[in-house]
């Protein structure tokens, strides 16, 4: 068996930081695409004469396809090679961005967004997995923290770039440049990735677990679709039936993976991960974190733009203190590496909750206008909390994963991130729009946003509690894992 792609490098690659730059560029392209689309929704709706349900699918279709593809493509990277799968994903994502930009109607745009989500699912698990297998343990905390910095930069650049491009209406293209801007970024990422990422073959020459793929897809589909479509259709019975079916689908998936392990066949999600309670706790923490942030930015855009007349650019500019806080705290967090991970995972969500609570009191004083300067301090505080949380969260979860399963582990991590995001958008949207009702006054938008902020405070306090359930010796466990990796690497080399 070729283990070159699955063990810690005996001698770290001299190109590992350049490799990381390429991986971060791909992550940036994926993240900025999400934030740009959110800003462009009103323009898309007017230009393509789309219904609210069709516009929702421009966003939701990407989320659904991304969530469904993460586990199988993560595992496929473990088998056929992560560099190969990453380059396929970046190439496909770039081509799909072109299709989105030239889409003549809403149906074509939705189809292109679904394909774009699948190609994003090809590249993103490989990005985290390649960090896991390229960097020595002592450097991984810094490497993972840079993903938080990238998220902060994308969060800043997305709304501002999207608002600026739509307002400029370049060559009469209206919203289309928000997708076409990916073309030069994607082309550069493909060429530099092909040249810089170390060549490594897959470690397992085994067949894909197709039954596992179908069962996992059914479980994720049964959760995501009701969360995305429930509010639009008034939560009909079929939504609750699908949610209930996610339980037997999940149970069947676990039983099937146990069977595959017993007969020593490849598994979509290795049973060692399914039975690792600390890994499962980490997945729950990931879901809790991302059940807050995407829903928050979903309603804050409506609160500012529809409720108080902000332009897309003004709305994006108002939220800049949050990603600035993420950027600063991610840089600081990276200097800690893997130290004090449990303490940071408790402190970060508490700061996030405090920022949202402060924002609640600021919003409560709003009457007929919103002064964006009043939002700077609470948004910056919340961003600091987010940046403190993300790097140790991802690093701690993936520390629990053996290197040969890095693709599967990062795929599962991002699947739960997407499920948490869909859950958060559904809950926050339900709270906000139910409070809003048919009224359109400033006070009504203020009250609806206040209720959404109460949810934000609650979900981040829950995350702090879950973090407190991590083992007190999480750093010791990390050191033990590093020792095992070193021994495995030495054996492979020998």
Could you tell me what percent of the chain has a pLDDT over 70? 86
Residue range 135-162: mean pLDDT, rounded:
74
> Average pLDDT, whole number, for the chain?
81
- Exposure of 160 in the CB half-sphere (CA atoms within 13 A): 12
pLDDT top residue among 392 and 321: 321
Residue pair 370/100 in contact (Cβ under 8 Å)? The answer is no
Kindly state the tokens that stand for 352.
Answer: 């996030």
Residue 346's pLDDT band (cuts 50, 70, 90): very high
DSSP, collapsed to helix, strand or coil, labels residue 147 as helix
**Close Cβ partners of 129 (under 8 Å, ≥ 6 residues apart):** 74, 77, 78, 82, 406, 407, 409, 410
Residue pair 63/117 in contact (Cβ under 8 Å)? The answer is yes
- Tens of pLDDT, residue by residue over 361-384, are 999 998 888 888 999 999 999 999
- Tens of pLDDT, residue by residue over 405-416, are 666 777 778 778
Global pTM? 0.74
- Cα separation, 82 vs 77, in Å, equals 4
Residue range 248-252: mean pLDDT, rounded:
94
**Lowest-pLDDT range, 109-113, 243-247, 290-294?**
290-294
- Tens of pLDDT, residue by residue over 21-44, are 899 888 888 878 777 777 777 778
pLDDT top residue among 2 and 26: 26
Residue 248's pLDDT band (cuts 50, 70, 90): very high
């Amino acid at each position: 068996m070729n283990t070159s792609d699955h063990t810690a490098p005996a001698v770290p690659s001299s190109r590992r930081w350049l490799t990381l730059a390429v991986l971060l560029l791909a992550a940036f392209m994926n993240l900025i695409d999400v934030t740009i689309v959110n800003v462009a929704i009103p323009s898309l709706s007017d230009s393509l004469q789309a219904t609210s349900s069709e516009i929702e699918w421009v966003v939701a279709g990407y989320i659904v396809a991304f969530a469904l593809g993460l586990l199988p493509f993560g595992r496929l990277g473990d088998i056929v090679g992560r560099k190969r799968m990453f380059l396929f994903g970046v190439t496909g994502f770039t081509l799909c961005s072109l299709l989105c930009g030239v889409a003549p109607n809403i149906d074509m745009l939705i189809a292109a967004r679904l394909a774009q989500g699948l190609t994003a699912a090809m590249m993103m698990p490989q990005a985290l997995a390649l960090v896991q297998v390229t960097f020595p343990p002592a450097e991984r905390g810094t490497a993972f923290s840079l993903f938080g910095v990238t998220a902060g930069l994308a969060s800043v650049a997305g709304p501002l770039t999207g608002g600026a491009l739509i307002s400029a209406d370049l060559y009469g293209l209206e919203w289309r440049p928000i997708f076409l801007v990916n073309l030069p970024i994607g082309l550069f990422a493909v060429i530099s990735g092909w040249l810089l990422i170390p060549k490594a073959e897959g470690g397992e020459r085994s067949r894909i677990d197709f039954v596992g793929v179908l069962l996992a897809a059914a479980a994720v589909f049964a959760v995501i679709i009701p969360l995305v479509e429930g509010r639009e259709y008034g939560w009909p019975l079929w939504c609750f039936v699908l949610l209930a079916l996610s339980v037997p689908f999940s149970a069947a998936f676990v039983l099937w993976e146990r069977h595959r392990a017993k007969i020593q066949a490849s598994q979509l999600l290795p049973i060692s991960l399914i039975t690792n309670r600390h890994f499962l706790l980490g997945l729950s923490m990931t879901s809790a974190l991302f059940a807050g942030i995407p829903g928050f930015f979903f309603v804050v855009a409506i609160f500012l733009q529809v409720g108080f007349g902000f332009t897309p650019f003004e709305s994006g500019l108002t939220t800049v203190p949050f990603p600035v806080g993420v950027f600063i705290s991610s840089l600081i967090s990276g200097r800690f590496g893997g130290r004090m991970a449990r303490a940071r995972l408790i402190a970060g969500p508490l700061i996030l909750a405090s920022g949202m609570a402060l924002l609640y009191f600021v919003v409560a004083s709003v009457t007929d206008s919103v002064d964006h300067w009043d939002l700077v301090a609470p948004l910056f505080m919340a961003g600091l909390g987010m940046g403190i949380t993300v790097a140790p969260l991802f690093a701690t979860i993936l520390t629990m994963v053996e290197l040969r399963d890095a693709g599967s582990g990062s795929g599962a991590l991002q699947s739960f991130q997407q499920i948490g995001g869909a859950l958060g958008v559904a809950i926050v949207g339900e709270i906000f729009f139910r409070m809003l009702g048919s009224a359109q006054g400033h006070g009504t938008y203020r009250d609806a946003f206040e209720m959404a902020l109460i949810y934000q405070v609650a979900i981040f306090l829950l995350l702090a509690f879950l973090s407190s359930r991590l083992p007190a010796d999480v750093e010791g466990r990390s050191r033990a894992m590093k020792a095992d990796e070193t021994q495995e690497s030495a054996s492979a080399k020998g």
